[in-house]
Structure 1
Amino acid sequence: MKSLSNLLVDSFGRVHNYVRLSITDRCNLGCQYCRPGNKAEYTPQMDLLTFDEMVAIVNALAEMGVTKVRITGGEPLLRPRLEELVAKLGLITGIKRIGLTTNGMLLASKARALRQAGLTDVNISLDSLLPERYARITRGGDLGRVLDAIEACFEAGFETLKLNVVLMQGVNDDEVESFLRLTLNYPLRIRFIEYMPIGVQAEGWKAGYMPLEGIMAQCAEKGWNARRVEPSGGLSNPSYCGTADDSGPARYYRISGAAGQFGLISPVSDHFCMACNRLRITADGYVKPCLYWNDEWDLKPFIGNDELLRQVFRQSLEAKPQRHEMLVQPSCKSSQHAMHRQMSRIGG
């Protein structure tokens, strides 16, 4: 067991055992909340971390207690030979879970190979079950390809399968019932996520923002008895739903008799900052201790020297704030500055 002095602990006592590793900021879609505007600005390929550099970074983090890695983007499946990175990460001592967050457009044909390489968990972003609306939200996405990917994930046998739904007022808030119905028959987790003011879209986010408190009321209106899934509660099919201690920031519920669950992630209305256990590594090699704030540290000069890397990680955690201020405009007195990167260039 690692001593406390070797773990990734910030100044508020939060232990960090989870890293989100962005491997590209490129995407084949253009979701408004992730990449606002029609012009995409991508990091030059030569400035992206190589797979070997990513493995070196994760290896240093694993020595400090990180046990879970989630591969993100942009769209991570745009990086060729992703299964090779997964396999290399799986060989790192201490890494127990390797997840992927994807829009699913390219996943169907790659799901089995990724599972065989050691990928354990898949999160698929899916903001609408209506083909035309999905295409509009994503600026060109094909819902059929995403549904094929979901089926391929079931067949490949991932340990957890989650669908992430960013709920937006006047955009897709009329589909809550349709998403909830999916949990009745399928052993997956539907996760409703509040729309966040990240990056250059922060000025206009309030028009689409809505808290998630109304979802429980909708369950009651349908006569569905939705009960909280406690950490000690078992699951009827853990092969896909996962275990309660894998829930992260979500509060999970199960409708009576349902095969799956739904989760509520409320970073704005009910922040979970004091339970934060994650760091983010951007595709161009910076560590971000907090999604919302602009502070980040360049790791590239120190790759290959684990001791110096560990010093940078500790420095970043010493500066990590107690919480974000998504509902409050940062004042001139604040030492922090709200994030200017778009979500696609952070890695979520």
Structure 2
Amino acid sequence: MGTALTDHFGRTATDLRLSLTDRCDLRCTYCMPAEGLPWLPRPDMLTDEEIIRLVRVAVTRLGIREVRLTGGEPLIRPGIVGIVARLAALRPRPVISVTTNAVSLERLAAPLAEAGLDRVNVSLDTLDPDTFKTLTRRDKHARVLAGIEAAVLAGLLPVKINTVLMRGVNDHEAPALLRWCLERGYELRFIEQMPLDAQHGWDRAVMVSAAEILDWLSRAFVLEPEGEAVRGAAPAETWLVNGGPAASGGGRVGVIASVTRPFCAACDRTRLTADGQVRTCLFAREETDLRGLLRSGADDEEVAAVWRVAMLGKKAAAGIGEPGFVQPGRPMSAIGG
């Protein structure tokens, strides 16, 4: 079977998305209800030691080269700076990034960079504080902007901004968001809203599509597609804006069209939830328990073997557009982005 995380369709996973917690300090309307969700019991969560051990297995035995820390909101995980430092000490050393809402980033950017974090992705859906408050049910827009600036000062580059557009809420902001990012050297990624909300209220009929986003942007900017050679296994299709990074006022923008233009054929990701379950896909309905293996005394090779078998059975595609598609039972906050 070999050592890599290879599936029956010839894809090899080299990118681990690792959820540190299912908890979050925002309540985004497209993710969870205002009252929050039933959080995982603390004893069910992977300990720091278990996290480090599983990532060590992944990088030394399974060929993982990049680790993305996700949540919930990963920065509210106690001890995250120490976790990053221990991950950075692994050999071979993985590239370490974090996807965050940036509420706590002003305080943590410098310590995380010193610990070995390489870069950050920040979720920001609006430039308007009132819209932010409506979307997130929290008045923390200024803290997010301060966190992004702190990431730049700490050298966590390039800072990537992830934006979900919602019809009638913030969809009119697409050109302004791109202009704001270009002026500051951030790389903007628009993400189609996916059926991963806890309320199961997602409706494809009202989802803002990649085609619409590109149409709006094309009215304000000159866009030139970069092509598949540049994209590789990355989920974002990218466009050079106004001549690209070297041109005055230029840069790059990406669109992650998980629903209308899925990229499953080139997927290189494996996912581990905060309670130690392997998921082969964001939309998978099956999980494989590694936490139980660790706690029952399995050695590293046994853990690696189970992980390989889990990924071998990865499906060809997420199947969002298929008639029989059923949204996974876990919401995004519990799976990890």
TM-score (norm 2): 0.92
1:313 counterpart residue number: 307
1:273 counterpart residue number: 264
2:77 counterpart residue number: 79
Question: Take 1:126 and 1:172, find their aligned partners in 2: how far apart are those partners?
Answer: 11
1:161 counterpart residue number: 159
Corresponding letter in the other structure for 1:195: Q
| Deviation for aligned residue 1:318 | 2.3
1:11 counterpart residue number: 8
* Aligned length in residues: 328
1:172 counterpart residue number: 170
Secondary structure of 1:292's aligned partner: coil
2:285 counterpart residue number: 294
Question: Take 1:46 and 1:189, find their aligned partners in 2: how far apart are those partners?
Answer: 38
**Alignment check: 8 A CA contact 2:231 2:237 kept:** no
Question: Take 1:75 and 1:330, find their aligned partners in 2: how far apart are those partners?
Answer: 31
1:235 counterpart residue number: none
**Alignment check: 8 A CA contact 2:194 2:202 kept:** no
| Deviation for aligned residue 1:300 | 1.1
1:240 counterpart residue number: none
1:262 counterpart residue number: 253
| Deviation for aligned residue 1:96 | 3.0
Q: How does 1:99-248 map to 2 (within 5 A)?
A: 99-206=97-204, 208-222=206-220, 224-229=221-226, 248=234
Secondary structure of 1:254's aligned partner: strand
**Alignment check: 8 A CA contact 2:22 2:274 kept:** yes
Question: Take 2:218 and 2:324, find their aligned partners in 1: how far apart are those partners?
Answer: 38
| Deviation for aligned residue 1:329 | 4.1
Q: C-alpha deviations, 1:33-71, integer Å up to 9, x for none?
A: 222353421001121101110111111111211000011
1:58 counterpart residue number: 55
**Structure 2: where are the runs of 5+ without partners?**
none
Corresponding letter in the other structure for 2:93: I
Question: Take 2:51 and 2:103, find their aligned partners in 1: how far apart are those partners?
Answer: 24
| Deviation for aligned residue 1:247 | 7.5
Corresponding letter in the other structure for 1:322: A
2:237 counterpart residue number: 251
Aligned residue among 29, 32, 55 for 1:32: 29
Question: Take 1:151 and 1:246, find their aligned partners in 2: how far apart are those partners?
Answer: 29
| Deviation for aligned residue 1:159 | 2.9
| Deviation for aligned residue 1:200 | 4.0
Question: Take 1:95 and 1:36, find their aligned partners in 2: how far apart are those partners?
Answer: 38
Secondary structure of 1:202's aligned partner: coil
Question: Take 2:198 and 2:208, find their aligned partners in 1: how far apart are those partners?
Answer: 19
Corresponding letter in the other structure for 2:174: V
TM-score (norm 1): 0.89
2:44 counterpart residue number: 47
**Alignment check: 8 A CA contact 2:174 2:217 kept:** no
**Structure 1: where are the runs of 5+ without partners?**
233-243, 332-336
| Deviation for aligned residue 1:301 | 2.4
The alignment yields a C-alpha RMSD, in angstroms, of: 1.9
Q: How does 1:82-97 map to 2 (within 5 A)?
A: 82-97=80-95
1:241 counterpart residue number: none
Indicate whether 1:284 and 2:275 are aligned.
Answer: yes
Secondary structure of 1:55's aligned partner: helix
Indicate whether 1:20 and 2:38 are aligned.
Answer: no
Corresponding letter in the other structure for 2:279: K
| Deviation for aligned residue 1:95 | 3.1
Aligned residue among 316, 319, 332 for 1:322: 316
Secondary structure of 1:5's aligned partner: coil
Corresponding letter in the other structure for 2:282: L
Rate the CA distance shift 1:329–1:202 in 2: closer, same or farther, 3 A: farther
Corresponding letter in the other structure for 2:258: P
Rate the CA distance shift 1:108–1:247 in 2: closer, same or farther, 3 A: farther
Corresponding letter in the other structure for 1:260: G
**Alignment check: 8 A CA contact 2:280 2:311 kept:** yes
Secondary structure of 2:58's aligned partner: helix
Question: Take 1:245 and 1:300, find their aligned partners in 2: how far apart are those partners?
Answer: 34
Question: Take 2:277 and 2:139, find their aligned partners in 1: how far apart are those partners?
Answer: 29
**Alignment check: 8 A CA contact 2:34 2:137 kept:** no
| Deviation for aligned residue 1:251 | 1.1
